[in-house]
Amino acid sequence: MPLKQREQQIAEAEELLGDRLAQASFAKGLFFGTFANRKLLDYPNLAADTATLALVDELRRYCQAEIDPVAIDRDAMIPQRIIDGLGRLGMLGACLPAECGGRGLSQTQYCRLLEVLGGHCASTALFVNAHHSIGPRAIVLFGTPEQQQRYLPKLATGEWISAFALTEPEAGSDAANVQTTATPTEDGRGFLLNGTKRWITNGGIAQVLTVMARTPVPSSSLSPGERAGVRGGKTIGGQPETKITAFLVTPDMPGFEVVEARMPKCGVRGSATGRLAFHNMFVPKENVLGQLGKGLRVALTVLDFGRVTFGATCTGAAKFCLQRASRHAATRVQFGEPIGTFELVKEKLAFMNAGAFAIEAATYLTAALIDSGEDDYMLETAMLKVFATDTLWRIINDTIQIFGGKAYFTDEPYERMMRDARINMIGEGANDVLRAFVALVGMRDVGLELKGVLDALSSPLKHFSKLGGFAGRKLEGLFRSPEVRVHHSELEPEAARLGHTVSTFGSNVERLLRTYREEIVERQYQAGRIADAAIELYVSSCVLRRLDALLSLPLGEGSAAADRSRAIPPSPLVGEGRGEGNGHLKSAIASDLIAGRYYLRSAERRIRRALADLWDNDDALATQAANAVLP
Q: Please list the active-site residues.
A: 428
| CA–CA separation, 508 and 502 (whole Å) | 10
228 CA to centre of own chain: 41
Contact status, residue 498 vs residue 544, Cβ threshold 8 Å: yes
**HSE-up of residue 590 (Cα within 13 Å, Cβ side):** 8
Contact status, residue 116 vs residue 59, Cβ threshold 8 Å: yes
SS3 334: strand
HEC letters along 192-258:
EEEEEEEEEECCCCCCEEEEEEEEECCCCCCCHHHHHCCCCCCEECCEECEEEEEEEECCCCCCEEE
HEC letters along 60-101:
HHHHHHHCCHHHHHHHCCCCHHHHHHHHHHCHHHCCCCHHHC
Closest CA to 421 of 317, 292, 558: 317
Contact status, residue 188 vs residue 232, Cβ threshold 8 Å: no
| CA–CA separation, 578 and 589 (whole Å) | 9
Contact status, residue 527 vs residue 439, Cβ threshold 8 Å: yes
How many helices (H) and strands (E) the chain has is answered by 21, 12
Closest CA to 423 of 454, 393, 457, 463: 393
Strand partners, 277: 196, 257
DSSP letter (8 states) at residue 43: P
Residue type, 135: G
Closest CA to 306 of 166, 153, 132: 132
SS3 484: coil
